[in-house]
Amino acid sequence: MFNQKTKSDGSMETTPSTPGGASLIASGTTLKGDITSSGDIRIDGTLLGNMQCSAKVIIGANGAVEGDISGQQADIMGRVTGTIKVKELLQLKGGSVVSGNLHASKLQIEPSANFNGQCHMTATTNGSANGTGNGSLDSKKEKQAFVDAAIPVK
């Protein structure tokens, strides 16, 4: 759980170790304040503040966030009250409760998830979610396939 390194003066330095550089807010822990992380982060406790992550955000089944979340990807299994902005895939797993607006390029909501808010989908071009794509259908065939898929067959 902890890595020990010897400093140049001979003393020991102990640093917490998590797989793959992920950060964890454990169950039973409440953190007040904002978090900025360049690696994956998992919340199984409570965060009262905003979170900005350059990688994947996971809110565990017992996790709760009261604040805004920003990340590359996100899996939500717990409770979130605030805006969630994700550049790639946002998954609301069964049992999750989200109150706030969603911004994502891809969204997956399981049937037993509870979502109350507005959803804003960002167009992607070549896998990037920078909003520069126009989301248009290029060929006549693509347009017709889109229309056919949208109209229910009786």
DSSP the chain: -EEEEE-TTS-EEEEE--GGG-EEE-TT-EEES-EEESS-EEESSEEES-EEESSEEEE-TT-EEES-EEESEEEE-SEEES-EEESSEEEE-TT-EEES-EEESEEEE-TT-EEES-EEEPP-BTTB-SS-------SHHHHHHHHHHHSPP-
Contact between residue 119 and residue 102 where contact means Cβ atoms under 8 Å apart: yes
Whether the full predicted model's pTM is greater than 0.95, yes or no, is no
Does the pLDDT at position 132 exceed 50? no
Token pair of 142, please?
């693509």
pLDDT score of 11 more than 60: no
Extents of the domains making up the chain: 13-150
Tens of pLDDT along 28-49? 999 999 999 999 999 999 999 9
Region 74-93 average pLDDT? 98
Q: What pLDDT does residue 5 have?
A: 54
Q: For residue 17, what pLDDT is reported?
A: 43
